[in-house]
Every structure is written in C-alpha cells, then in structure tokens.
Structure 1
C-alpha cells in the first residue's frame, strides 16, 4: 500500500491505529527510563516496518498512562492524594473551555490543581481527548503551579471516537463511553515506558502492513470510566502475554514481582483495572481478518453471560 493510501486512512475516522506509548508527565517518584521503539521488533520485515513507520509518524502521541491515572481518586501505596478528575463530570458539557459550556467547577479545579493529583488528572484528560477528538481538534486550558507560573496546555485529538464532543455533550451515550474507556484502558502501562502497540476493534480498521508488523495479540480491554460506578476490565492472550512482559506491558496479564531475598512471587493488578484471566475464557471469538476479540464478559463476578462488544484488543511486534 502506498504512503498516500496510508495518509488517507489516517485522515478517516475509522483508520488503522498504531499507537506509540511514551512516558506520561509525572512527579519525580515515577521517573523511569524510556524503552525506545528501536529496542523492540528489530527483526520485523523491512517493507512492512517502513509502511507502518510512515503511519506512525502521523499518529505519534504521548499516550502512556500510569495505572494510577485511571482512577486518580483511588488511594495507591505511593500515597498520592486520592482526589482528582472523575470522568463522569465531563459528559454533561462539551469538551471545551468556553463560556457557560465549559467544564464543571469540579472538573476544572481537578485539572488546575498544582499538586500530584492535578498532574494525574491532566494525564487522564489528555488521553480522554486523544481517544475522543480528531487530530484537527484540540482542547486548551492553563493551570498555575505553586510558584505562580502559568502552564498553558493544549491536548490534541487522535482517534475521533466522539469528535462532536467539542461542540456538544456526549451525555448518556453508553456506547461511546465504553469505546473511549476501552481506548484509554488499552493505553495504560504499568512501567510508563515507550512501547509500540496496534489497537483494533470494530471501530478501528487495520492495514495488512500493520497486521504483519504487529502480529502478537497481547490481550483485550473494556469498561466504562464514565459510569456512576466506574470499572475497567482486561484479559490476556494465553500466548502473547509472554511477549508483553518482554517489552514491559503488564496490564493485560498482571504485574509479577519476585522478592530478591525470599524468592516469593507476587502478582498485582494494574491499578484499578480488574484482570479477569485468559481472553480465551472471557471472550467470544475473534475477527477473521484483524484478529481482535469481538466481545468479552463485562463483569464475570456479576454475570458470566453478559458481554460487551466495545472491546479494544492490543497487538505487539514480534520478538527477535
């Protein structure tokens, strides 16, 4: 496929999406070295890599969330302030700061907070904007730090799931809420390192070159961050989770740590995300062409038969 064709697909709402996970801005306690894209997938077919690379140049974003940023109002062991941005505050207003149609007082206070809670709230909002708006749409505001220095922020859209949100509220459109939430959940990274991933579902087409360059299915993500009781779920591919851990993507299969002294192995959820187990048990079939899961059990502990098709499946480049 020619570069012109790729650019046309990128410009369309339902386009191939190769996302690049980069370190989110965070407080010093989260400072971690980046894993550059050059460190993974070095043996991918050169032609496929070139084509996908051209697409990636159009889609490069800062889009790694630390697990904490999903629910910044939850208390984590790092002692962060539990107050923060509640996504449900956003759905009744348009995604713009202009006159009476701007954010609610609570939401504005959360993203303008100069502390660590404010940093997490801004991170979450940035990824909400990225999943919701188009590349030609932006969300702008400013906040002032404790030294009185103003910081202008401009968040640019990417996937366009709810591009009309810039001019009117999404309200109680649960389909859109689920799609945006799944998009955000798929981009959470325990380590905050840079990892190339391919996102796929019924709303996101993928090119043959993208599928060739990113053949390893990592897992699937779903949920609703905008619900009165927010939730996010995930499952792992029974084979692909090994590659995921090689490139430091633990949020589909859970984070594993080994005590260097005792040798005890512990397994941790990815923040507030509930990891339900293998996708083979949780999901009901895959797309014949793109390989994404068509639907997964929404909440197994409540009802093992209720499924959602607003699921995002993630794919990784093959290992060396």
Structure 2
C-alpha cells in the first residue's frame, strides 16, 4: 500500500511563511512516494491535537507538522497516548523553533525542511510526560523568567520574533525571586531555594544551545538544572558562562543532574506555574517522567553531533571492547621491560 502523509500546519506561523509554502511542500511529499493531504489549524483550542489524533487513528504513516513549538507540542499530545503512533516530521515556522534547532532542521525555510524528509533519517526520540497526561518534547520549566512566553503578546511575537522574547526577558530579570521547594529525582532530594528550574530533553532551550550541553535526544534522561541565585549580576554572569561553551554546569550556583523522573513540591504558599514547551502547563506540585524513544522523528542526523544521540547496544559493546583493549595495552607497557 502507498504510504500516507498528513500535513498539519499553522497558517499564521512565521508571518504566514507556512501558508505560502504549502503547495510546494505537498508536491515534495508526493515526490517522496506519499499520498499527501493537508489540514490548516483553526483558532480553536486543540485544533492540531485533535487532527493529529484523528490522522493517527486513521492509519497515516507520517504527520508533517508546520508551525512553531506550540503547534508541534499539540501534535505530540495528540499521538503520544496512542499505542500506534505515526512518525513525525517538523517544518519550523515559529518564533524560537527550539526543537527544530536541536534536530538541525532548517528554520525559516519550509521547503528546505520538507526536502530533509527524503533523506529518511529518523531517530526514536524521548518525550516528557507531566501530571500523567500532558506531554512535552523540549522543556519543562518554572520561575518568573520562564513566564516570558506568557507575557509577550502574540502580535509582538509575529512582528519581532525572538527579539520580542529577549526584550521581555531583560525586562523581567530584575524581578527574579527565590522559590523554596523540594525536588525529588533519581539521585536523591534537593531542598532549598531556587530562582529557575529547567528539565530539558534537548540542548536547545530558549534559543540557547548550551544550556544543557551534554543532553542526548534518546537516552531516557532529563537534564535537571536548578539556579540557586536571583541576584541580577550573578544571573548575567551565568548567562555569560552558558554562552561560553556551557561552562555554567560546574558553577556552585547551579545544580546539574541527569534523571529519569522529577517531582517538584513548593514548600510555601507561593504559586509556581509550570511552562511546558513555552506554554502554561499547570501549577506545581508536578511529576515529570521521561518516556524513552517514544516517538519517531525525521531528523538531520548528518548535522547532529554524535554525542547528542545515545549509542546503540552494539556500539556500546564495541566501545567497551576498545576501552578494555586500551587498558590492557597500558598495563602491558607498564610491565614490559624498558629498552636500554
């Protein structure tokens, strides 16, 4: 049977960038052997979610989602609870496009992104689950700075893109406050005060590609980052370290942990809103779970660093053999009589 692809796209994303590219994208998908159709999302809530669920239950092999991180998140929430899930491909046309950045998919060029599908490079990706029923693909976060996404009007996002986030972020920096909480993770418990919490699935968060520099896309772990200061100068210094090759991870003002599950309990009456993939996702307390290799994505593996993908069992076995051989050679050299 011929493979079927459903294009789900947000017509307002990226100054209507997707809307203009739809005919050519459909032609490209047809050229790759897919019987292709399209769905334009509507202003009503969960439009993309419901269509993604319908397409998955109808047996489509591939869903191509065109839009920003919010549209991608909706599509993921539509198919993640299902036993049989189609593969996903991304055509980024939003403001920050964090997920596309992590997968090395061209941003601002829908046609180039669509052409990547023809390379047939796929990866079974981790996703996160919150409250047992909400799903996210890139980041769960909390703290006043993470509320930037709620504070920037959609009109400004469309007009000024990521610049609008930067301006609002700088405006909110002086308002950072410390939040007392208890966080349970695989390695133990953190109790104390933090200003920002990040649970990242990729290395690209809010436009920063070094916030979680060693994050892997398919290893089953979150990168939990806790910022233990609200001092403006110290926050700016940490941002400098992030930009300087991710050197913040060894700073005493930062807690940096790999974990499969995270439970966050506020220990005061202060409200803690949770940001899931750039949108309001509910309030703490919250439990986060990593669903390992849950959805197959088309990615650009040619440009993704090897360290961003977990090694296969065969690769790990080869690596172990190589390391063992290296150690044996070192031992032999130490025992061998020195030549005069």
TM more than 0.5 = no
Give the structure-1-normalised TM-score.
0.32
Give the structure-2-normalised TM-score.
0.30
Higher helix share: 2
Q: Which has the larger radius of gyration?
A: 2
Structure possessing the higher relative contact order (Cα contacts under 8 Å, 6 or more residues apart): 1
Higher strand share: 2
